[in-house]
């Protein structure tokens, strides 16, 4: 009797695009994919930070290339990706948060958050999928959502709305592109120690509220998401599409 073999978590020979790569979860995702063997293109608005990350990764023997890009500019994003070979893997970690009570949220803040978290996510994911479909290649597309794509929270009506929308978008795209072998998923982290979370975690009352919700009793670290990214990108997740991998320390279980 032949024993089953665990599918490989390696990503050798694959091209990955990480948006929002200059800091936080995106930076960790880029390193994780490169450690697994992928050649990673680092995309973000900050050319200086991308250049530093590219140099640091290359000095560690990892394949990395910087691509300064504002994914909120859908036309520029489409053109930049069309000029390159297709990407086998996408991790979209670009995101924006402007937390405020719903009654005090301005139209400007609403539009800014929706433009990055939803509109840009849609057109970036579509652009990568178009490249794969044209080349007749399968792929794994991962959007960084949030536990707030599954629950709500104070001062987060707009942020939660965009993340719930990304969850729905992901399911629909997964259905559409499954015949082409393109998998589309999200990861949904809890509060991770990143610059984006500082606004909330700097407030002692909000920090206490966060910790009271996380059943494991601690904040997340960027390392907590790295294995999940590699899993979803790899052949080990070949039957996983249209779903959300919660990395929330048990927040949504309660």
| Residues in Cβ contact with 212 at an 8 Å cutoff, skipping those fewer than 6 apart | none
CB 9 within 8 A of CB 234: yes
Q: Which of 213, 194, 211 is nearest to 251 (CA)?
A: 213
159 as an active site residue: the answer is yes
Tell me the C-alpha to C-alpha distance, in Å, between residue 96 and each of 180, 199, 239. 31, 12, 31
Which one of 21, 89, 145, 159 is the catalytic residue?
A: 159
DSSP 229-249: HHHHHSGGGTT--S-EEEEST
* Dist. CA 41–CA 184, nearest whole Å: 19
Catalytic residue list: 159
């Amino acid at each position: 009797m032949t024993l089953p073999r665990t599918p490989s978590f390696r990503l050798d020979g694959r091209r990955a695009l990480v948006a929002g790569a200059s800091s936080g979860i995106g930076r960790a995702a880029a390193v994780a994919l490169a450690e697994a063997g992928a050649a990673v293109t680092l995309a973000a608005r900050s050319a200086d930070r991308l250049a530093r990350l590219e140099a640091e990764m290359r000095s560690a023997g990892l394949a990395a290339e910087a691509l300064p890009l504002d994914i909120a500019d859908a036309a520029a994003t489409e053109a930049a990706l069309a000029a390159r070979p297709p990407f086998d893997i996408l991790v979209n970690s670009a995101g924006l948060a402007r937390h405020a009570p719903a009654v005090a949220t301005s139209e400007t803040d609403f539009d800014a958050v929706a433009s990055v978290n939803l509109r840009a996510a849609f057109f970036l994911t579509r652009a990568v999928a178009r490249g794969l479909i044209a080349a007749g290649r399968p792929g794994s597309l991962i959007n960084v959502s949030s536990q707030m794509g599954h629950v709500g929270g104070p001062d987060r009506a707009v942020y939660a709305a965009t993340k719930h929308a990304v969850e729905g978008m992901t399911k629909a795209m997964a259905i559409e592109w499954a015949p082409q072998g393109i998998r589309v998923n999200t990861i949904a982290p809890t509060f991770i120690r990143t610059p984006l979370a500082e606004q909330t975690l700097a407030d002692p009352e909000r920090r206490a509220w966060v910790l009271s919700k996380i059943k494991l009793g601690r904040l997340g670290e960027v390392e907590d998401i790295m294995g999940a990214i590699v899993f979803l990108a790899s052949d080990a997740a070949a039957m996983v599409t249209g779903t959300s991998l919660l990395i929330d320390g048990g927040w949504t279980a309660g």
